[in-house]
Structure 1
Amino acid sequence: MSEKNHRTHERLATTLGWASLGLGVAQLAAPGAISRLSGLDDSPWAGKAIRLVGIRELLHAAALLGTRRPAPMTWTRVAGDAMDLTMLGRAMANRDGPRRRRVAAASAAVAGITLADMYTAMRANRPMPGAGPEPITNLRASITVNRPRQEVYRFWRSLENLPRFMIHLESVETIGGGYSHWKVRGPAHKVIEWDAEIVEDREEQLIAWRSIEGATVRNSGWVRFTDAPGGRGTEVRVRIDYEAPAGKLGLAFARLLGEHPEQQVRDDLRRFKQVMETGEVTRSEGSPEGTRAQRQLFQRPAQPVR
């Protein structure tokens, strides 16, 4: 599925969330009118049932509108649709005349909504071409760097610079054609390596990458560069999606990013800011031997020079 289609399905899921909100409010505010429209007004349980359905619709709305990726949550609506169709099917079997026609019309409307819900939910589970399975972890962070956008972009675009501020990286080697080889060293000297490709490169604006087919660690992401307000330099925004493998290798990769991976990315960006603004990562006399970020793990509090 293309990125454009992905955004379309997310927008459709959001629309369905607003539909749930409107329907839930209507069912709670006017259950009598809803029961008449659906042909259930002769049932003693109709009012209570419609109120319960209204509460359920509000829960659907909260699930769909309360997340940045609502499309996968559409499965909650599919389950509710199945319950509604079952209830309407039983009601139609016990009615005739105008009420039966109203129940049939309500059933047709719910069936149409069910198709939209199922389409959205099923498309949400389809990965983008070449991206592998849906990433299980999404990391975002941003920072303002007091340097011109051209300079910030060029430093990041030279991928060999990344280990200077990304503490989990051992090395990044450019191998030509937009491809690069990444190496990280985890606990107990466990080395994890993969190849990646740059899939989009807009001068001074965006660098996007993804791991290639068969990578041990499936990952993708982007970094955006925009002018900071008030001429304060450059806004750098990063997103990283990754799916760590199972077993000991996956555990090593998870530990590699720390107990709070998103905080680790923020720390990396703070080191990036230091490198861009001062030329190096601020460090104590406990690690004077180099600028690679990984060595900052072994710092100790600064002591007066004897």
Structure 2
Amino acid sequence: MSEAEHHNAHRWAGVLGWVSAGLGVLQVAAPDTVVRVIGAGDRPWARRVVRLIGLRELFHAAVLLGSRRPAPLVWTRVAGDAMDLALLGRLMAEREDGGRRRLAASTAAVTGITFADIVTAVRGGHEPGLPPHRLTNLRAAITVNRPRREVYRFWRDIENLPRFMIHLESVEPIAGGYSHWRAKGPAHKSVEWDAEIIEDQTEQLIAWRSVEGATVRNRGSVRFTDAPGGRGTEVRVDIDYDPPAGKVGLAFARLLGEHPQQQVCDDLRRFKQVMETGEVARSEGSPEGTRARRQLFQRPAQPVR
């Protein structure tokens, strides 16, 4: 499944969250109207049940709209859909008047929603290649004062990446959309892996993932959109990766001031400099950027000799 499909699944999960919110408000505020519309008749318990279902829908809305990756959480809605279908089946068995038509229509509607819930949950939950419980997610964005076509083309030429990603030593294109990456690893050792481009929408999106068995397992995407007011291009990066040293290595990186999140933000700032000025501006006292251990050797600026 492509990265774009995963993004679509999470987007649809957000839509379903708003659907739950709307249904929940209606069922809690106007249960009599809901009972009449679905054809439940004048059963005294129907009004109370509808209100309880409304509270459940509000819970679903809070869960889905409050999550950054809501698609797998849609399974909570699927469980609720099963309860609703069972309740509608019981009402259908009890009614013999004209209300059966409205119950049948309600059952068909809930069945369609259930299908949408299941598809969204499956697509959002099946993300092969990386164990979800070990993933570290990085997100960053920046506005570059250059046209979107130019920004996209520069990034799409992956050999340009080491120019602003200082942890990369090289990126070599391979036939078929694959590439070989070499990066600076712990203890001054290099780390290498292969990756593939899995989605390439001209001037809009580039998505990639590491191949099976890679030393550094990762996937991600970079999106390009026009900035408001003709101010250039908004670049948004979203990366999931499995830290080679796990949580211990991540904690140690924080102590050194080299947390991956900070690295990504710094990379984007350097990317902006390269696109707008043609080079990365670095001070003489800290030529390798903002790494914490380099700050120990900083000194006041001096005239160039």
TM-score clears 0.5: yes
Match runs of 1:1-306 below 5 Å: 1-2=1-2, 9-10=9-10, 12-36=12-36, 37-39=38-40, 41-43=42-44, 45-66=45-66, 69-88=69-88, 95=94, 97-98=96-97, 101=100, 105=104, 109-127=109-127, 132-133=129-130, 136-146=135-145, 156-157=155-156, 159-167=158-166, 169-177=167-175, 178-189=177-188, 191-199=190-198, 207-224=206-223, 234-244=232-242, 248=245, 251-252=248-249, 261-276=260-275, 277=277, 279-285=279-285, 287=286, 297-299=293-295, 300-303=297-300, 305=302
CA distances 1:221-249 after superposition (whole Å, capped 9, x unpaired) = 344556656665x4251423323067x35
Per-residue deviation, 1:118 = 1.9
- Partner SS, residue 214 of structure 1: coil
Q: Is the 8 A contact 1:31 1:51 kept in 2?
A: yes
Per-residue deviation, 1:154 = 5.9
**Distance in 1 (alpha carbons) for counterparts of 2:35 and 2:227:** 55
Q: Is the 8 A contact 2:243 2:249 kept in 1?
A: no
- Partner SS, residue 53 of structure 1: helix
Stretches of structure 2 that go unaligned for 5 or more consecutive residues are none
Q: Is the 8 A contact 1:39 1:99 kept in 2?
A: no
RMSD: 4.2
Larger CA deviation: 254-263 vs 34-43: 254-263
CA distances 1:107-141 after superposition (whole Å, capped 9, x unpaired) = 565444333322332233334xxx73486444332
Per-residue deviation, 1:52 = 1.8
Per-residue deviation, 1:87 = 4.5
**Distance in 2 (alpha carbons) for counterparts of 1:40 and 1:271:** 66
Per-residue deviation, 1:194 = 0.8
- In structure 2, the CA distance between the partners of 1:156 and 1:114, relative to structure 1 (3 Å rule), is closer
**Distance in 2 (alpha carbons) for counterparts of 1:240 and 1:8:** 14
The AA in structure 1 aligned to 2:208 is: W
**Distance in 1 (alpha carbons) for counterparts of 2:159 and 2:292:** 18
Per-residue deviation, 1:96 = 5.4
TM-score for both structures, normalised by structure 2: 0.71
CA distances 1:187-223 after superposition (whole Å, capped 9, x unpaired) = 4446432112345667776654332232233323344
Q: Is the 8 A contact 1:88 1:103 kept in 2?
A: no
The AA in structure 2 aligned to 1:34 is: V
Q: Percent identity?
A: 56
Larger CA deviation: 171-180 vs 10-19: 10-19
Per-residue deviation, 1:35 = 3.2
Q: Is the 8 A contact 2:20 2:57 kept in 1?
A: yes
- In structure 2, the CA distance between the partners of 1:296 and 1:175, relative to structure 1 (3 Å rule), is farther
- Partner SS, residue 282 of structure 1: coil
CA distances 1:241-285 after superposition (whole Å, capped 9, x unpaired) = 323067x35754686687864443122211233344262332242
Stretches of structure 1 that go unaligned for 5 or more consecutive residues are none
- In structure 2, the CA distance between the partners of 1:190 and 1:51, relative to structure 1 (3 Å rule), is farther
- Partner SS, residue 282 of structure 2: coil
- In structure 2, the CA distance between the partners of 1:115 and 1:199, relative to structure 1 (3 Å rule), is closer
Q: Is the 8 A contact 1:32 1:47 kept in 2?
A: yes
- Partner SS, residue 74 of structure 1: helix
The AA in structure 2 aligned to 1:272 is: F
